[in-house]
Amino acid sequence: MIEPRLEYVFEIRAQIAADLHIGRGPEEKLAFTPVTGGTVAGPRLNGEVLSGGGDWAVERFGTAQLEAHYLLRADDGAVIDILNRGYFRASPAVWERMERGENVPEDEPELYFRTAPVFQTDAPQHRWLAENQFVGLARDEDGAVCVRVFLLT
Protein backbone atom coordinates (compact mmCIF):
# COMPACT_ATOMS: atom_id res chain seq x y z
CA MET A 1 0.00 0.00 0.00
CA ILE A 2 1.39 3.41 -0.92
CA GLU A 3 1.65 6.24 1.57
CA PRO A 4 0.12 9.54 0.50
CA ARG A 5 2.52 12.44 0.07
CA LEU A 6 1.75 16.15 0.21
CA GLU A 7 3.41 18.86 -1.88
CA TYR A 8 2.94 22.46 -0.77
CA VAL A 9 1.72 24.47 -3.79
CA PHE A 10 0.44 27.86 -2.51
CA GLU A 11 -1.34 29.77 0.22
CA ILE A 12 -4.66 31.56 -0.17
CA ARG A 13 -5.15 34.61 2.09
CA ALA A 14 -8.84 35.51 1.72
CA GLN A 15 -10.04 38.80 3.15
CA ILE A 16 -13.54 38.48 4.58
CA ALA A 17 -16.39 40.67 5.79
CA ALA A 18 -18.40 40.09 8.96
CA ASP A 19 -20.50 36.93 9.20
CA LEU A 20 -24.16 37.19 8.29
CA HIS A 21 -26.33 35.04 10.56
CA ILE A 22 -29.03 33.30 8.54
CA GLY A 23 -30.59 31.03 11.16
CA ARG A 24 -31.83 27.45 11.37
CA GLY A 25 -32.83 25.91 14.68
CA PRO A 26 -31.81 25.19 18.26
CA GLU A 27 -29.24 22.50 17.39
CA GLU A 28 -27.61 24.20 14.40
CA LYS A 29 -26.96 27.60 12.90
CA LEU A 30 -26.31 28.75 9.35
CA ALA A 31 -24.07 31.72 8.55
CA PHE A 32 -22.53 33.29 5.44
CA THR A 33 -19.14 35.03 5.35
CA PRO A 34 -18.53 37.20 2.25
CA VAL A 35 -15.10 37.04 0.57
CA THR A 36 -13.87 40.55 -0.26
CA GLY A 37 -10.48 39.89 -1.90
CA GLY A 38 -7.04 38.61 -0.99
CA THR A 39 -3.91 37.01 -2.37
CA VAL A 40 -2.57 33.69 -3.63
CA ALA A 41 1.17 33.08 -3.29
CA GLY A 42 3.41 30.06 -3.51
CA PRO A 43 5.75 27.97 -5.60
CA ARG A 44 3.09 26.81 -8.10
CA LEU A 45 0.54 29.69 -8.25
CA ASN A 46 0.46 33.42 -7.60
CA GLY A 47 -2.40 35.84 -8.02
CA GLU A 48 -5.37 37.34 -6.25
CA VAL A 49 -8.63 36.32 -4.62
CA LEU A 50 -11.47 38.13 -6.36
CA SER A 51 -14.18 39.88 -4.39
CA GLY A 52 -17.48 38.00 -4.42
CA GLY A 53 -18.56 34.60 -3.32
CA GLY A 54 -18.12 33.47 0.23
CA ASP A 55 -18.33 30.75 2.82
CA TRP A 56 -21.52 29.07 4.03
CA ALA A 57 -21.08 27.45 7.43
CA VAL A 58 -23.50 25.13 9.20
CA GLU A 59 -22.58 24.64 12.84
CA ARG A 60 -23.81 21.61 14.74
CA PHE A 61 -22.71 20.77 18.28
CA GLY A 62 -19.56 22.91 18.09
CA THR A 63 -18.30 21.82 14.67
CA ALA A 64 -18.87 23.96 11.58
CA GLN A 65 -19.19 22.31 8.18
CA LEU A 66 -17.84 24.81 5.63
CA GLU A 67 -18.46 25.36 1.94
CA ALA A 68 -16.59 28.31 0.45
CA HIS A 69 -17.04 29.19 -3.22
CA TYR A 70 -15.14 32.05 -4.87
CA LEU A 71 -12.74 32.93 -7.71
CA LEU A 72 -8.99 33.32 -8.03
CA ARG A 73 -7.16 35.25 -10.77
CA ALA A 74 -3.65 34.02 -11.53
CA ASP A 75 -0.89 36.52 -12.30
CA ASP A 76 -1.17 35.52 -15.98
CA GLY A 77 -4.86 36.57 -16.01
CA ALA A 78 -6.44 33.10 -15.92
CA VAL A 79 -9.55 32.83 -13.75
CA ILE A 80 -9.86 29.79 -11.48
CA ASP A 81 -13.01 28.67 -9.69
CA ILE A 82 -12.54 27.20 -6.20
CA LEU A 83 -15.01 25.21 -4.11
CA ASN A 84 -13.40 24.62 -0.73
CA ARG A 85 -15.21 22.33 1.71
CA GLY A 86 -14.04 21.54 5.19
CA TYR A 87 -14.53 21.57 8.93
CA PHE A 88 -13.81 24.04 11.72
CA ARG A 89 -13.80 23.25 15.42
CA ALA A 90 -12.14 25.07 18.32
CA SER A 91 -12.22 24.67 22.08
CA PRO A 92 -13.93 27.50 23.97
CA ALA A 93 -10.52 28.80 25.10
CA VAL A 94 -9.14 28.89 21.53
CA TRP A 95 -12.38 30.44 20.23
CA GLU A 96 -12.04 33.19 22.85
CA ARG A 97 -8.44 33.85 21.75
CA MET A 98 -9.57 34.11 18.12
CA GLU A 99 -12.43 36.46 19.06
CA ARG A 100 -9.86 38.76 20.72
CA GLY A 101 -7.98 38.88 17.41
CA GLU A 102 -5.12 36.58 18.41
CA ASN A 103 -3.54 34.59 15.58
CA VAL A 104 -3.86 30.91 16.49
CA PRO A 105 -1.50 28.63 14.52
CA GLU A 106 -2.71 25.65 12.45
CA ASP A 107 -0.98 23.20 14.76
CA GLU A 108 -2.86 24.34 17.89
CA PRO A 109 -4.11 21.01 19.35
CA GLU A 110 -7.50 22.49 20.26
CA LEU A 111 -8.12 23.86 16.74
CA TYR A 112 -9.26 21.76 13.78
CA PHE A 113 -9.57 23.79 10.55
CA ARG A 114 -9.08 21.56 7.48
CA THR A 115 -10.34 21.79 3.91
CA ALA A 116 -10.47 19.96 0.59
CA PRO A 117 -10.38 22.50 -2.26
CA VAL A 118 -11.54 21.61 -5.78
CA PHE A 119 -10.58 23.85 -8.70
CA GLN A 120 -12.00 24.44 -12.18
CA THR A 121 -10.37 26.26 -15.08
CA ASP A 122 -9.86 25.77 -18.80
CA ALA A 123 -6.53 27.63 -18.81
CA PRO A 124 -4.02 25.05 -20.12
CA GLN A 125 -1.21 26.25 -17.83
CA HIS A 126 -3.42 25.66 -14.77
CA ARG A 127 -5.18 22.43 -15.79
CA TRP A 128 -3.16 20.62 -13.09
CA LEU A 129 -5.46 22.31 -10.55
CA ALA A 130 -8.57 20.74 -12.10
CA GLU A 131 -6.99 17.31 -12.44
CA ASN A 132 -5.68 16.58 -8.94
CA GLN A 133 -6.82 16.29 -5.33
CA PHE A 134 -5.79 18.89 -2.77
CA VAL A 135 -6.02 19.36 0.99
CA GLY A 136 -5.77 22.58 2.96
CA LEU A 137 -4.57 23.53 6.43
CA ALA A 138 -6.42 26.68 7.47
CA ARG A 139 -6.20 29.37 10.11
CA ASP A 140 -7.47 32.87 10.79
CA GLU A 141 -4.65 35.41 10.68
CA ASP A 142 -4.75 39.20 10.83
CA GLY A 143 -8.40 39.31 9.76
CA ALA A 144 -7.96 36.90 6.83
CA VAL A 145 -8.71 33.23 6.37
CA CYS A 146 -5.45 31.61 5.31
CA VAL A 147 -5.38 28.20 3.64
CA ARG A 148 -2.08 26.46 2.89
CA VAL A 149 -2.90 24.23 -0.09
CA PHE A 150 -1.14 20.91 -0.64
CA LEU A 151 -1.27 18.63 -3.68
CA LEU A 152 -2.00 15.04 -2.66
CA THR A 153 0.33 12.80 -4.65
Q: Domain segments of the chain: what residues?
A: 6-152
Q: What CATH number is given for 6-152 in this structure?
A: 2.40.160.20
Question: Which residues does the chain have with pLDDT short of 50?
Answer: none
Model pTM?
A: 0.93
- pLDDT for res 4: 93
Cβ atoms of 11 and 42 within 8 Å: the answer is yes
CB atoms inside a 10 Å sphere around CB 54: 21
- pLDDT for res 27: 83
The set of residues, in sequence order, having a beta carbon less than 8 Å from that of 100 and lying 6+ positions away, is none
- pLDDT for res 25: 79
- pLDDT for res 23: 83
Strands (E), 78-141: 79-90, 111-120, 134-141
